[in-house]
Amino acid sequence: MKEVHEFTSPAEAVEAAEKIEQVRAEIARAFVGQKELVDHALITLIAGGHLLVEGVPGLGKTLLVRSLARAIGGESKRVQFTPDLMPSDITGNIMLDTQSGKFITRKGPIFTNLFIADEINRAPAKTQASLFEAMQEFQVSLDGAGLPLPAPFMVLATQNPFEHEGTYPLPDAQKDRFLMKIIADYPPAEEEKIMVALVLAGDSGAELSVSEVGTVLGAGEFIAIRDRASRLRADPLVIDYAVRLTAATRGSSYVQSGAGPRGSLALIRCARARALLEGRDFVLPDDIKALASPVLAHRLTLSAESELEGLGDRQIIEDLVSKTEAPRGAPGEV
DSSP category for residue 178:
S
CA distance 258 to 42: 26
- For helices 35-46 and 61-71, what crossing angle results, to 10°? 50
Residues 6 or more apart in contact with residue 81 via CB below 8 angstroms: 117, 118, 119, 120, 121, 122, 123, 127
CA distance 156 to 118: 8
Give the residue, 183 or 265, on which the prediction is more confident.
265
pLDDT for position 208: 55
Contact 312, 38 (CB under 8 A): no
Tell me how far apart the terminal alpha carbons of the chain are, to the nearest angstrom: 29
Nearest to 210 by CA among 20, 27, 21: 27
Residues 6 or more apart in contact with residue 46 via CB below 8 angstroms: 20, 225, 226, 229, 273, 276, 277
pLDDT for position 155: 92
Contact 258, 308 (CB under 8 A): no
- List the beta strands (DSSP E) in the chain: 51-54, 76-80, 92-97, 102-107, 114-118, 139-142, 145-148, 154-159, 180-183, 255-257, 301-302
Single pTM value for the model: 0.86
pLDDT digits (tens, 9 = 90+) for 142-163: 777 778 999 899 999 988 766 6
DSSP category for residue 180:
E
Nearest to 160 by CA among 35, 58, 42: 58
Check pLDDT > 60 for residue 255: yes
CA distance 272 to 206: 39
DSSP string, 183-234: E--PPPHHHHHHHHHHHHHSSSSSS--STTPPP-S-HHHHHHHHHHHHTSB-
Give the residue, 82 or 310, on which the prediction is more confident.
82
Q: What is the mean pLDDT of residues 260-286?
A: 94
Residues 6 or more apart in contact with residue 2 via CB below 8 angstroms: none
pLDDT for position 193: 76
In percent, how much of the chain has pLDDT > 70? 87
Domain 1-231 has CATH 3.40.50.300: yes
Nearest to 313 by CA among 28, 26, 41, 52: 52
Residue type present at position 143:
D
Domain 234-334 has CATH 1.10.8.80: yes
Average pLDDT, the chain: 84
CATH 3.40.50.300 boundaries in the chain: 1-231
Q: What is the mean pLDDT of residues 31-56?
A: 87
pLDDT-based confidence at residue 4 (cuts at 50, 70, 90): very low
Q: Within 10 A of 61 (CB to CB), how many other CB atoms are there?
A: 23
pLDDT-based confidence at residue 245 (cuts at 50, 70, 90): very high
CATH 1.10.8.80 boundaries in the chain: 234-334
Exposure pattern of 26-45 as b/e (b: 16+ CB <10 Å)?
Answer: bbbbbbbbbeebbbbbbbbb
SS3 category, 36? helix
In percent, how much of the chain has pLDDT > 90? 36
